[in-house]
Protein backbone atom coordinates (compact mmCIF):
# COMPACT_ATOMS: atom_id res chain seq x y z
CA UNK A 1 0.00 0.00 0.00
CA UNK A 2 1.41 3.41 -0.97
CA UNK A 3 0.26 6.38 1.10
CA UNK A 4 2.85 9.07 0.44
CA UNK A 5 5.08 10.55 -2.26
CA UNK A 6 8.33 9.23 -0.75
CA UNK A 7 7.06 5.67 -0.95
CA UNK A 8 5.99 6.29 -4.53
CA UNK A 9 9.51 7.21 -5.57
CA UNK A 10 10.54 3.64 -4.79
CA UNK A 11 8.25 2.46 -7.59
CA UNK A 12 8.60 5.13 -10.26
CA UNK A 13 10.81 8.07 -11.07
CA UNK A 14 8.58 11.00 -10.21
CA UNK A 15 7.85 13.81 -12.63
CA UNK A 16 8.15 17.42 -11.42
CA UNK A 17 4.37 17.94 -11.20
CA UNK A 18 4.00 14.75 -9.18
CA UNK A 19 6.71 15.84 -6.73
CA UNK A 20 5.02 19.22 -6.29
CA UNK A 21 1.57 17.79 -5.45
CA UNK A 22 0.30 18.84 -2.04
CA UNK A 23 -2.46 17.26 -0.10
CA UNK A 24 -4.05 20.50 0.90
CA UNK A 25 -6.76 22.90 -0.20
CA UNK A 26 -10.39 22.06 -0.61
CA UNK A 27 -9.91 19.94 -3.72
CA UNK A 28 -7.65 17.50 -1.98
CA UNK A 29 -7.97 13.74 -2.29
CA UNK A 30 -5.63 11.51 -0.28
CA UNK A 31 -2.86 9.55 -1.97
CA UNK A 32 -3.62 5.87 -1.63
CA UNK A 33 -2.51 3.15 -4.02
CA UNK A 34 -3.19 -0.52 -3.40
CA UNK A 35 -0.48 -3.17 -3.78
CA UNK A 36 -2.25 -4.53 -6.84
CA UNK A 37 -2.25 -1.14 -8.60
CA UNK A 38 1.34 -0.44 -7.45
CA UNK A 39 2.45 -3.38 -9.61
CA UNK A 40 0.94 -1.68 -12.66
CA UNK A 41 2.40 1.81 -12.13
CA UNK A 42 4.91 1.43 -14.96
CA UNK A 43 1.96 1.82 -17.34
CA UNK A 44 1.28 5.47 -18.05
CA UNK A 45 -2.48 4.83 -18.21
CA UNK A 46 -2.42 3.55 -14.63
CA UNK A 47 -0.01 6.17 -13.35
CA UNK A 48 -2.20 9.03 -14.63
CA UNK A 49 -5.21 7.62 -12.80
CA UNK A 50 -3.60 7.06 -9.42
CA UNK A 51 -0.48 9.24 -9.03
CA UNK A 52 -1.42 12.77 -7.94
CA UNK A 53 -0.16 15.84 -9.75
CA UNK A 54 0.24 19.50 -8.76
CA UNK A 55 -2.16 20.19 -11.65
CA UNK A 56 -4.86 19.15 -9.18
CA UNK A 57 -3.80 21.92 -6.80
CA UNK A 58 -3.71 24.49 -9.60
CA UNK A 59 -7.17 23.75 -11.02
CA UNK A 60 -9.62 26.57 -10.42
CA UNK A 61 -12.44 25.36 -12.71
CA UNK A 62 -15.52 23.55 -11.48
CA UNK A 63 -16.63 22.71 -7.99
CA UNK A 64 -16.27 19.78 -5.62
CA UNK A 65 -19.87 18.74 -6.05
CA UNK A 66 -20.88 19.45 -9.66
CA UNK A 67 -23.90 17.13 -9.43
CA UNK A 68 -25.12 19.06 -6.40
CA UNK A 69 -25.59 15.73 -4.72
CA UNK A 70 -25.62 17.44 -1.37
CA UNK A 71 -28.76 19.35 -2.34
CA UNK A 72 -30.30 16.15 -3.67
CA UNK A 73 -29.53 14.14 -0.56
CA UNK A 74 -32.48 13.31 1.57
CA UNK A 75 -30.19 12.07 4.31
CA UNK A 76 -26.45 12.45 4.56
CA UNK A 77 -25.73 9.35 2.51
CA UNK A 78 -28.76 8.77 0.31
CA UNK A 79 -28.83 10.68 -2.97
CA UNK A 80 -32.35 10.62 -4.40
CA UNK A 81 -31.98 12.59 -7.61
CA UNK A 82 -34.06 10.40 -9.92
CA UNK A 83 -37.52 9.53 -8.65
CA UNK A 84 -37.16 5.82 -9.40
CA UNK A 85 -33.60 5.17 -8.19
CA UNK A 86 -31.30 6.28 -5.42
CA UNK A 87 -27.62 6.03 -4.50
CA UNK A 88 -26.47 5.07 -1.02
CA UNK A 89 -22.96 6.21 -0.11
CA UNK A 90 -21.85 3.20 1.90
CA UNK A 91 -18.44 4.60 2.84
CA UNK A 92 -15.98 7.30 1.81
CA UNK A 93 -13.13 4.77 1.58
CA UNK A 94 -11.59 3.08 -1.46
CA UNK A 95 -8.64 0.72 -1.87
CA UNK A 96 -7.01 3.26 -4.16
CA UNK A 97 -8.11 6.82 -4.90
CA UNK A 98 -8.63 7.74 -8.53
CA UNK A 99 -7.40 11.22 -9.28
CA UNK A 100 -10.43 11.72 -11.56
CA UNK A 101 -12.89 10.87 -8.79
CA UNK A 102 -16.13 12.80 -9.34
CA UNK A 103 -17.16 12.55 -5.71
CA UNK A 104 -14.25 14.49 -4.28
CA UNK A 105 -16.58 16.31 -1.91
CA UNK A 106 -17.02 13.00 -0.12
CA UNK A 107 -14.32 10.44 -1.03
CA UNK A 108 -11.58 9.98 1.54
CA UNK A 109 -13.03 12.77 3.66
CA UNK A 110 -13.34 10.81 6.91
CA UNK A 111 -17.10 10.38 6.81
CA UNK A 112 -16.24 6.72 7.40
CA UNK A 113 -18.59 3.81 7.01
CA UNK A 114 -22.35 3.99 7.36
CA UNK A 115 -23.40 2.96 10.82
CA UNK A 116 -26.12 0.40 11.37
CA UNK A 117 -28.60 3.14 12.26
CA UNK A 118 -27.78 5.07 9.07
CA UNK A 119 -28.32 1.88 7.06
CA UNK A 120 -31.64 1.23 8.81
CA UNK A 121 -32.73 4.83 8.23
CA UNK A 122 -31.88 4.61 4.51
CA UNK A 123 -33.59 1.21 4.20
CA UNK A 124 -36.82 2.52 5.68
CA UNK A 125 -36.72 5.61 3.46
CA UNK A 126 -36.37 3.33 0.42
CA UNK A 127 -39.14 1.05 1.69
CA UNK A 128 -41.44 4.02 2.26
CA UNK A 129 -40.73 5.48 -1.19
CA UNK A 130 -42.16 2.72 -3.30
CA UNK A 131 -41.23 4.57 -6.51
CA UNK A 132 -37.59 3.65 -5.85
CA UNK A 133 -36.97 0.54 -7.98
CA UNK A 134 -33.18 0.48 -7.91
CA UNK A 135 -30.56 1.41 -5.35
CA UNK A 136 -26.88 1.91 -6.09
CA UNK A 137 -24.60 0.83 -3.26
CA UNK A 138 -21.64 3.07 -3.86
CA UNK A 139 -19.28 5.48 -2.13
CA UNK A 140 -16.33 5.20 -1.92
CA UNK A 141 -16.19 1.49 -2.34
CA UNK A 142 -18.63 -0.76 -0.51
CA UNK A 143 -16.14 -3.65 -0.50
CA UNK A 144 -13.78 -1.79 1.84
CA UNK A 145 -16.29 -2.81 4.52
CA UNK A 146 -15.47 -5.88 6.57
CA UNK A 147 -17.25 -9.12 5.69
CA UNK A 148 -19.33 -8.86 8.85
CA UNK A 149 -20.41 -5.27 8.20
CA UNK A 150 -21.24 -6.04 4.55
CA UNK A 151 -23.29 -9.03 5.59
CA UNK A 152 -25.23 -6.92 8.07
CA UNK A 153 -25.83 -4.13 5.55
CA UNK A 154 -27.01 -6.44 2.77
CA UNK A 155 -29.16 -8.31 5.26
CA UNK A 156 -30.91 -5.12 6.39
CA UNK A 157 -31.52 -3.85 2.85
CA UNK A 158 -32.78 -7.21 1.63
CA UNK A 159 -35.10 -7.63 4.56
CA UNK A 160 -36.56 -4.12 4.35
CA UNK A 161 -36.62 -3.78 0.56
CA UNK A 162 -36.92 -7.28 -0.96
CA UNK A 163 -38.24 -6.10 -4.32
CA UNK A 164 -35.64 -3.39 -4.95
CA UNK A 165 -32.78 -4.11 -7.36
CA UNK A 166 -29.39 -3.36 -5.81
CA UNK A 167 -26.39 -2.41 -7.90
CA UNK A 168 -23.11 -3.37 -6.27
CA UNK A 169 -20.85 -0.57 -7.52
CA UNK A 170 -17.17 -1.23 -7.12
CA UNK A 171 -13.79 -0.39 -8.50
CA UNK A 172 -12.19 -2.92 -6.18
CA UNK A 173 -12.28 -5.72 -8.78
CA UNK A 174 -9.69 -3.55 -10.58
CA UNK A 175 -7.83 -2.12 -7.57
CA UNK A 176 -7.88 -5.01 -5.08
CA UNK A 177 -9.17 -8.19 -6.74
CA UNK A 178 -7.86 -10.35 -3.88
CA UNK A 179 -10.71 -8.93 -1.77
CA UNK A 180 -13.18 -11.17 -3.63
CA UNK A 181 -12.42 -14.44 -1.96
CA UNK A 182 -14.83 -17.35 -1.42
CA UNK A 183 -15.92 -16.02 1.93
CA UNK A 184 -17.02 -12.67 0.54
CA UNK A 185 -18.75 -14.29 -2.43
CA UNK A 186 -20.50 -16.59 0.02
CA UNK A 187 -21.90 -13.55 1.84
CA UNK A 188 -23.18 -12.11 -1.41
CA UNK A 189 -24.72 -15.41 -2.40
CA UNK A 190 -26.43 -15.72 0.97
CA UNK A 191 -28.00 -12.28 0.60
CA UNK A 192 -29.14 -12.82 -2.97
CA UNK A 193 -32.77 -13.41 -2.16
CA UNK A 194 -35.53 -11.26 -3.63
CA UNK A 195 -34.73 -8.84 -6.45
CA UNK A 196 -31.43 -9.43 -8.30
CA UNK A 197 -28.03 -7.86 -7.72
CA UNK A 198 -26.13 -6.25 -10.58
CA UNK A 199 -22.36 -5.73 -10.46
CA UNK A 200 -21.18 -2.32 -11.71
CA UNK A 201 -17.45 -2.13 -12.35
CA UNK A 202 -15.15 0.68 -13.40
CA UNK A 203 -12.41 -0.33 -15.84
CA UNK A 204 -10.90 2.55 -17.78
CA UNK A 205 -8.11 0.79 -19.66
CA UNK A 206 -7.64 -2.79 -20.89
CA UNK A 207 -4.49 -3.11 -18.72
CA UNK A 208 -6.76 -2.97 -15.64
CA UNK A 209 -8.49 -6.19 -16.64
CA UNK A 210 -5.75 -8.36 -15.21
CA UNK A 211 -6.20 -12.09 -14.75
CA UNK A 212 -6.96 -11.47 -11.08
CA UNK A 213 -9.53 -8.78 -11.89
CA UNK A 214 -11.23 -11.02 -14.45
CA UNK A 215 -11.38 -13.81 -11.88
CA UNK A 216 -12.96 -11.46 -9.30
CA UNK A 217 -15.71 -10.52 -11.76
CA UNK A 218 -16.11 -14.19 -12.70
CA UNK A 219 -16.98 -14.87 -9.05
CA UNK A 220 -20.08 -12.66 -9.40
CA UNK A 221 -21.01 -14.07 -12.79
CA UNK A 222 -20.94 -17.59 -11.36
CA UNK A 223 -23.54 -16.45 -8.83
CA UNK A 224 -25.72 -15.30 -11.71
CA UNK A 225 -24.97 -11.63 -11.11
CA UNK A 226 -24.61 -9.76 -14.43
CA UNK A 227 -21.72 -7.33 -14.78
CA UNK A 228 -21.79 -3.87 -16.37
CA UNK A 229 -18.85 -1.52 -16.75
CA UNK A 230 -18.60 2.25 -16.48
CA UNK A 231 -15.59 3.97 -18.01
CA UNK A 232 -14.51 7.55 -17.51
CA UNK A 233 -13.11 9.22 -20.61
CA UNK A 234 -9.67 10.38 -19.46
CA UNK A 235 -7.01 12.41 -21.22
CA UNK A 236 -3.83 10.44 -21.78
CA UNK A 237 -5.46 7.29 -20.46
CA UNK A 238 -8.14 6.18 -22.90
CA UNK A 239 -8.93 9.15 -25.16
CA UNK A 240 -8.10 7.23 -28.29
CA UNK A 241 -10.25 4.90 -30.35
CA UNK A 242 -7.91 1.91 -30.32
CA UNK A 243 -7.74 1.79 -26.51
CA UNK A 244 -11.50 2.05 -26.06
CA UNK A 245 -12.17 -0.59 -28.70
CA UNK A 246 -9.68 -2.94 -27.05
CA UNK A 247 -11.26 -2.22 -23.67
CA UNK A 248 -14.76 -3.03 -24.93
CA UNK A 249 -13.63 -6.23 -26.60
CA UNK A 250 -11.80 -7.36 -23.48
CA UNK A 251 -14.82 -6.54 -21.31
CA UNK A 252 -17.10 -8.57 -23.56
CA UNK A 253 -14.69 -11.51 -23.57
CA UNK A 254 -15.04 -11.46 -19.80
CA UNK A 255 -18.84 -11.22 -20.03
CA UNK A 256 -18.94 -7.62 -18.81
CA UNK A 257 -21.27 -5.34 -20.78
CA UNK A 258 -19.86 -1.85 -21.52
CA UNK A 259 -22.55 0.41 -20.05
CA UNK A 260 -21.43 4.04 -19.83
CA UNK A 261 -18.53 6.04 -21.17
CA UNK A 262 -18.61 9.15 -19.00
CA UNK A 263 -17.55 12.60 -20.03
CA UNK A 264 -15.46 13.95 -17.13
CA UNK A 265 -17.46 15.90 -14.59
CA UNK A 266 -16.55 19.50 -13.73
CA UNK A 267 -14.85 18.46 -10.52
CA UNK A 268 -12.25 20.86 -9.24
CA UNK A 269 -8.82 19.24 -9.42
CA UNK A 270 -9.54 17.06 -12.46
CA UNK A 271 -9.34 19.49 -15.38
CA UNK A 272 -6.03 18.09 -16.65
CA UNK A 273 -7.77 14.71 -17.12
CA UNK A 274 -10.79 15.98 -19.04
CA UNK A 275 -11.26 15.47 -22.78
CA UNK A 276 -13.13 18.12 -24.82
CA UNK A 277 -16.71 17.08 -25.60
CA UNK A 278 -16.01 17.74 -29.28
CA UNK A 279 -13.28 15.07 -29.24
CA UNK A 280 -15.50 12.78 -27.14
CA UNK A 281 -18.22 12.94 -29.78
CA UNK A 282 -15.71 12.13 -32.50
CA UNK A 283 -14.46 9.14 -30.50
CA UNK A 284 -18.05 8.01 -29.92
CA UNK A 285 -18.76 8.05 -33.66
CA UNK A 286 -15.54 6.27 -34.56
CA UNK A 287 -15.80 3.48 -32.02
CA UNK A 288 -19.46 2.90 -32.85
CA UNK A 289 -18.35 2.10 -36.39
CA UNK A 290 -16.06 -0.63 -35.04
CA UNK A 291 -18.06 -2.09 -32.15
CA UNK A 292 -21.20 -4.17 -32.04
CA UNK A 293 -24.24 -2.89 -30.22
CA UNK A 294 -23.26 -5.19 -27.39
CA UNK A 295 -19.78 -3.71 -27.16
CA UNK A 296 -20.82 -0.05 -27.45
CA UNK A 297 -21.07 1.99 -24.24
CA UNK A 298 -23.32 5.04 -24.05
CA UNK A 299 -21.32 8.26 -24.06
CA UNK A 300 -22.89 10.20 -21.23
CA UNK A 301 -22.56 13.53 -19.52
CA UNK A 302 -23.76 14.15 -16.00
CA UNK A 303 -24.99 17.71 -16.29
CA UNK A 304 -23.86 20.36 -13.79
CA UNK A 305 -26.14 21.62 -11.04
CA UNK A 306 -27.81 18.26 -10.65
CA UNK A 307 -29.16 18.23 -14.21
CA UNK A 308 -28.75 14.48 -14.37
CA UNK A 309 -27.31 12.21 -17.02
CA UNK A 310 -27.94 12.69 -20.72
CA UNK A 311 -26.66 10.60 -23.60
CA UNK A 312 -24.37 12.22 -26.13
CA UNK A 313 -24.20 10.76 -29.60
CA UNK A 314 -23.36 11.79 -33.09
CA UNK A 315 -26.60 12.92 -34.68
CA UNK A 316 -27.65 10.72 -37.60
CA UNK A 317 -30.98 12.52 -37.92
CA UNK A 318 -30.13 15.65 -39.88
CA UNK A 319 -33.49 17.11 -40.87
CA UNK A 320 -37.13 16.77 -41.82
CA UNK A 321 -38.70 17.52 -45.17
CA UNK A 322 -42.27 16.99 -46.44
CA UNK A 323 -43.07 14.66 -43.57
CA UNK A 324 -39.90 12.65 -44.13
CA UNK A 325 -37.05 12.38 -41.68
CA UNK A 326 -33.65 12.74 -43.29
CA UNK A 327 -30.78 10.66 -41.98
CA UNK A 328 -27.13 10.49 -42.76
CA UNK A 329 -25.89 6.88 -42.52
CA UNK A 330 -22.64 6.10 -40.72
CA UNK A 331 -21.13 5.73 -44.23
CA UNK A 332 -22.20 9.26 -45.10
CA UNK A 333 -25.15 8.38 -47.37
CA UNK A 334 -28.52 10.12 -47.21
CA UNK A 335 -31.71 8.17 -46.43
CA UNK A 336 -35.31 9.36 -46.13
CA UNK A 337 -37.80 7.86 -43.72
CA UNK A 338 -41.40 8.93 -44.45
CA UNK A 339 -43.15 9.18 -41.12
CA UNK A 340 -46.54 7.63 -40.59
Ligand X SMILES: *Cc1c(COP(=O)(O)O)cnc(C)c1O
Give catalytic residue positions: 81-82, 85, 94, 98, 101, 103, 265, 302, 309
Q: Is 171 in the site for ligand SF4 (CB under 6 A)?
A: yes
Write out the H or E segment, with its range, that includes residue 262.
strand 256-262
Q: Is 141 in the site for ligand SF4 (CB under 6 A)?
A: yes
- Which CB sits closer to ligand X, 2 or 119? 119
Question: Least Å distance between CB 289 and ligand SF4?
Answer: 29
User: CA of 144: how far to CAs of 28, 90, 93, 169, 176, in Å?
Assistant: 21, 9, 7, 12, 10
Question: Least Å distance between CB 37 and ligand X?
Answer: 24
What Rg do the C-alpha atoms of the chain give, in angstroms?
A: 21
Q: Is 107 in the site for ligand SF4 (CB under 6 A)?
A: yes
Q: Which of 52, 62, 66, 139 binds ligand SF4 (CB under 6 A)?
A: 139
Phi first, then psi: give them for residue 152, nearest 5 degrees: -65, -45
User: What's the CA gap between 164 and 125, in Å, rounded?
Assistant: 12
Torsion angle, alpha carbons of 157, 73, 96, 153, to 10: -10
Pick from ligand X, ligand SF4, none: which does 213 bind, CB < 5 to 8 A by kind?
none
Phi first, then psi: give them for residue 198, nearest 5 degrees: -125, 135
Pick from ligand X, ligand SF4, none: which does 103 bind, CB < 5 to 8 A by kind?
ligand SF4
- Which CB sits closer to ligand SF4, 149 or 171? 171
| Beta-carbon count within 10 A of 10 CB | 8
User: What's the CA gap between 47 and 11, in Å, rounded?
Assistant: 11
- Which CB sits closer to ligand X, 31 or 122? 122
- Which CB sits closer to ligand SF4, 139 or 295? 139
Pick from ligand X, ligand SF4, none: which does 94 bind, CB < 5 to 8 A by kind?
ligand SF4
Residues that bind ligand SF4 (CB under 6 A): 94, 97-98, 101, 103, 107, 139-141, 171
Amino acid sequence: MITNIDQLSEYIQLHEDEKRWKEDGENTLPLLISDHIAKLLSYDAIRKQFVPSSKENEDTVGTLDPQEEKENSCMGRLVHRYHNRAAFLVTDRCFAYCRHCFRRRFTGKLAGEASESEIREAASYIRDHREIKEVLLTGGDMFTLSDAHLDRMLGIFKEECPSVIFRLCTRAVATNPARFDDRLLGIIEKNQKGAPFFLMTQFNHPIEITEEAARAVEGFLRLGIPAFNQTVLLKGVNDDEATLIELSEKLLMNRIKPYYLFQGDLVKGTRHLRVPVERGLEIEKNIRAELSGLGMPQYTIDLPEGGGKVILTHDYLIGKEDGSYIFETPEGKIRHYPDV
